Amino acid sequence: MRSKLLFLIKYMHRFRWWYTGGFIFLGLTIWTSVTIPEFIQKSIDIISDGEPASRDSFYHYVLIILGLALVLILVRTLSRILFFVPGRLIEKQLKGKMFRKLSSFGKDYYDQNSTGSIISRINNDINGVRMITGFGLLQTGNIIFSLSLTPYKMWNLSPALTLYCVIPMVLVFIIVRVGMVIMVKNTHRRMDALQKLSGKTISFLSGNSVIKSYNIHRWAEDKVEKENVSLFKYTMRITWIRSFIIPLLGNLEQILKIVVLFVGGLYVIEGKFTLGQLTEYIAYSALLTQPVMGLGWVLTVFQQGFVGISSLQTIMDRTGTDDNKKPLPAEHQKNLFQKSITFKNLTYTYHNGEHPTLKNISFSIKPGQVVGITGKVGAGKTTLVNLINGYLRPSPGQLFFDEMDAANLHAEDIRTVAKTVTQEVFLFSDSIRNNITFGAKKANHTNLFEDVIFKSAFADELARFPKQEETLVGEKGIMLSGGQKQRISLARSLYTPSKLLILDDVFSAVDTDTERFLIKQIFEQHPAESLLVVSNRTSVLEKTDFTIVLEEGRIEAMGTHKELIKKSNFYRETWELQK
């Protein structure tokens, strides 16, 4: 609880003057609205007395009521603005924070949390915080002011009648509160159902082409329908309470009116009360309805918001891969790969794996070398690559950039050294140019765009697009073929220079002509000082300084093309197959 409050205070602190202003205007609002009934009472008593002498003060009162009404409009508007705006600003700030946090998490996090659930978390949980910091606070202030000022005025008129009014109020409040608790429970269930529905929908829309070619629309519809119906079920449970229980609060004014008319009526008959006072009392009891209603809502807003906060805290409190490290100064970053990148008996097990994916890996890459990696599906090639580029982190003492232990380096350091063209290409729904220059904003040196396009064998095809490099790539680059996507990704990696360029199976989706061109560009022009090439094509591997053959996570053999033909069965068989 305390940590949640601290969380709120941390974000609200910046807007303390907004909130202070908000509370002042809110106080004025409440004061004005309880003062008006007083003048109504005075006016009514003058009317029923019919004293012609007091008519002047009657007109005076009516004018005061009118004036107060105008003041009320003004102060109420201001109080609302002053509360709502910070709520939205905090919402924005939180979204940004969450995004930053999310971008500091590694693979383990994304393995455990689906995109759909992260998105709905950001949307719903942050919304909960916004409700607290905007509407919630306003209502709290409202309740505090109203529930102290109004009852005070009522008490002044008649303490006994006030006590009579408390009984139905408390009763109604308890009933409604119980209803709310049930409702909140169902709201959570409903949220879960909504989350599942979103998850399924995203998955099916992303896999739309498979659904189409296998004609399984009906199956997808059935799956979504299940979630659709369960969402409806929970919605109706909430509706039941909303229809039959919650309106008790809205009708509190009427319930109190019956009490006041009956008891107050008796007082008037007995001469303890004037008709004006009765009217004033009814007007006060009407003023009570709103804050009591608000109290119910405010409790719910805080409850839901706190659930949201604790869910946000699980993200905020989670340490990102590099939270405890600082990137090295730029001149040190440059020196990270002067001598070698060295694997020292590295063993790596995935966070969710039972057995190590890589075992006892030892080798080193020197600046200027071209190194190949080959092996069967699942041998650990991509894992090895992801360890070098910092996507996965080794335990201390296993991987070194010169003398620096990779386990202690900040991802930014590692990535200024190593650029990776991944197997699975990801393009943003943006122009081709923006996809290629992506990530270059911070770089102090970039290569020529045209040059990079040429080197990635993409120039001819790009020229054929009507809008050329401004052509928009559909989501994930749908309009482009696999080979085209891979070459854009290659161009992206060449755009900013790096010391080590890692090509993870880039030649797989391109045809032989393009492959030859690329090999020529990459091996002869040396776009980066050093190269690490993952491939199963011996035509590529024979050009390396040495190649590592992985088998079930171990180095089966290591050496030049000629050596490996003698040493490695896998390599020899591959080579013979491709002959």
Partner 1 sequence: MAKLLSNKDWSLIKKFGRYFVPHKKWLIVSLSSIPVTTTASILFLWLVERIIDDYIVPGDITGLKTFAMLLAGVLLLNLLFDGLYSYTFSKAGGLAIVDMRRELFGKAIRFPMRYYDKHPIGVTLSRLTSDMESISESFAAGILGLLSESIKTTALIGYLFYLNWRLTLVLLIVVPLIVLVMRYLRRKIRAAFDESRTSLAKSAAYLQESLNGMKTIQLYNAENEAWDKYNNLNQTYCNAQNRSNVYDSALYSIVEGITSVATAMVLFYGAIQVWDYGYTMGVLVVFITTLGRLFIPVRQFAQQISTIQRALSALDHISHLFEQETEEDGKETGKEAPSELKEIRFENVSFRYTEDAPDVLKNISFTLRKGDRIALVGTTGSGKSTIIRLLTKTYTGYRGSIKINGKELKDIPLAEIRNMMSLMQQDIFMFNDSIRFNIALGREYLTEEDIRKAASFVYADHFINQLPGKMEYVIQDNGDNLSKGQGQLISFARAISGNNELIILDEATSAVDSLTENYIQKAIENIFSSRTVIAVAHRLSTIKHSDQILVLEQGQIIERGNHDELVSQGGKYAGLVKTWEEKKSDAS
Site for partner 1 in 200-259 (CB under 8 A): 201-221, 224-225, 228-229, 231-232, 235-236, 238-240, 242-244, 247-248, 251, 254-255, 257-258
Q: Which of 441, 445, 525, 562 binds partner 1 (CB under 8 A)?
A: 441
Residue 15: partners with Cβ closer than 8 Å, 6 or more residues away: 86, 89, 90
382 binds partner 1 (CB under 8 A): yes
Query: Comparing C-alpha atoms, which of 461, 478, 470 is closest to residue 517?
Result: 461
Of the candidate residues 24, 68, 144, 184, the single one contacting partner 1 (CB under 8 A): 68
Please give the helix or strand (H or E) that residue 360 lies within, else none.
Answer: strand 358-365
By CB under 8 A, residue 466 contacts partner 1: yes
Closer by beta carbon to partner 1, 132 or else 278: 278
Is the Cβ of residue 5 or residue 479 nearer to partner 1 in the bound state?
Answer: 479
Q: Closest CB to partner 1 among 331 and 513?
A: 513
Q: How far apart are CA 243 and CA 345, in angstroms?
A: 68
CB-nearer residue toward partner 1: 4 or 502: 502
Residue closer to partner 1 (CB basis): 166 or 210: 210
Shortest distance in whole angstroms from residue 326 CB to partner 1: 15
Q: Is there binding between residue 391 and partner 1 (CB under 8 A)?
A: yes
For residue 511, which phi and psi values (nearest 5 degrees)?
A: -80, 170
Given the DSSP bridges, would you call strands 341-348 and 399-401 parallel, antiparallel or unpaired?
Answer: antiparallel
Strands (E), 166-271: none
CA distances (Å), 61 to each of 274, 280, 542, in order? 18, 14, 100
Q: Are 534 and 571 in contact (CB under 8 A)?
A: no
Residues 393-412 that bind partner 1 (CB under 8 A): 411-412
Stretch that binds partner 1, among 3-11, 398-406, 459-467, 523-531 (CB under 8 A): 459-467
Q: Of 116-124, 291-299, 302-310, 555-563, which segment contacts partner 1 by CB under 8 A? A: 116-124
Considering only residues 1, 6, 53, 577, which one is a binding residue for partner 1 as defined by CB under 8 A? 577
Q: Which is nearer to partner 1, 44 or 346 (CB)?
A: 44
How crowded is residue 160: how many other Cβ atoms within 10 Å of its Cβ? 11
Residue with tokens 């500091």: 104
Both tokens assigned to 566: 């003698």
- In the chain, the largest separation of any two C-alpha atoms, in whole Å, equals 123
Report the residue from 8, 26, 30, 44 that binds partner 1 according to the rule CB under 8 A.
44
Kindly state the tokens that stand for 342.
């060295």
- Smaller CB distance to partner 1: residue 80 or 339? 80
Q: How far is the CB of 48 from partner 1 (least distance, A)?
A: 5
Nearer to partner 1, 3 or 470 (CB): 470
Site string for partner 1, 537-576 (x = CB under 8 A): xxx------------------------------x--xxx-
Q: Are 509 and 440 in contact (CB under 8 A)?
A: no
Check residue 370 for interaction with partner 1 (CB under 8 A).
no
Helix (H, G, I), strand (E, B) or coil at 75: helix
Label residue 351 left, alpha or beta by phi (over 0 means left) and psi (-120 to 50 means alpha).
Answer: alpha
Q: How far apart are CA 333 and CA 323, in angstroms?
A: 18
Q: How far, in Å, are 491, 518, 530 from residue 527 at the CA level?
A: 11, 11, 9
Total residue count of the chain as it appears in this document: 579
What is the per-residue binding string for partner 1 in 474-493, x denoting contact by CB under 8 A?
xxx-xx-xxxx--x----x-
Nearer to partner 1, 4 or 410 (CB): 410
What burial class does residue 260 get, using C-beta atoms within 10 Å of its C-beta: 0-12 exposed, 13-18 middle, 19+ buried? buried
> Which residues in 340-359 contact partner 1 (CB under 8 A)?
352
Contact with partner 1 (CB under 8 A) among 175, 282, 404, 407:
282
Min dist. Cβ of residue 529 to partner 1 (A)? 18
**Residues 161-180 as x/- pattern, contact with partner 1 by CB under 8 A:** --------------------
Q: How near is the Cβ of 1 to partner 1 at its closest, in Å? A: 29
Nearer to partner 1, 65 or 407 (CB): 65
Nearest of 69, 68, 83 to residue 22 by alpha carbon: 83
Taking CB under 8 A as the criterion, the residue among 4, 153, 393, 419 binding partner 1 is: 419
Based on CB atoms, which residue is closest to partner 1, 4 or 267? 267
* Least spacing, CB of residue 159 vs partner 1, in Å: 21
Q: Report, in Å, the least distance between residue 142 CB and partner 1.
A: 12
Question: Which of 22, 128, 296, 375 is in the footprint of partner 1 by CB under 8 A?
Answer: 375
**Long-range contacts of the stretch 275-280 (C-beta < 8 A, 24+):** 275/44, 275/45, 275/48, 276/40, 276/41, 276/42, 276/43, 276/44, 276/45, 276/48, 277/41, 277/45, 277/157, 279/40, 279/41, 279/44, 280/37, 280/38, 280/40, 280/41, 280/44, 280/157
Q: Which residues, numbered 503-542, are part of the site for partner 1 (CB under 8 A)?
A: 505, 508-516, 536-539
Quote the CA–CA distance of 271 and 38 in Å, as a whole number: 20
Write out the binding residues for partner 1, residues 305-324 only, by CB under 8 A. Answer: none
Does the footprint of partner 1 cover residue 328 (CB under 8 A)?
Answer: no
Binder among 159, 329, 377, 444 for partner 1 (CB under 8 A): 377
47 binds partner 1 (CB under 8 A): yes
Closest CA relative to residue 103, chosen from 319, 350, 317, 320? 320
Name which of residues 14 to 33 contact partner 1 (CB under 8 A). 33
User: Closer CB to partner 1, residue 92 or residue 334?
Assistant: 92
Q: Which of 21, 31, 65, 144 binds partner 1 (CB under 8 A)?
A: 65
C-alpha closest to that of 194 among 257, 80, 116, 129: 116
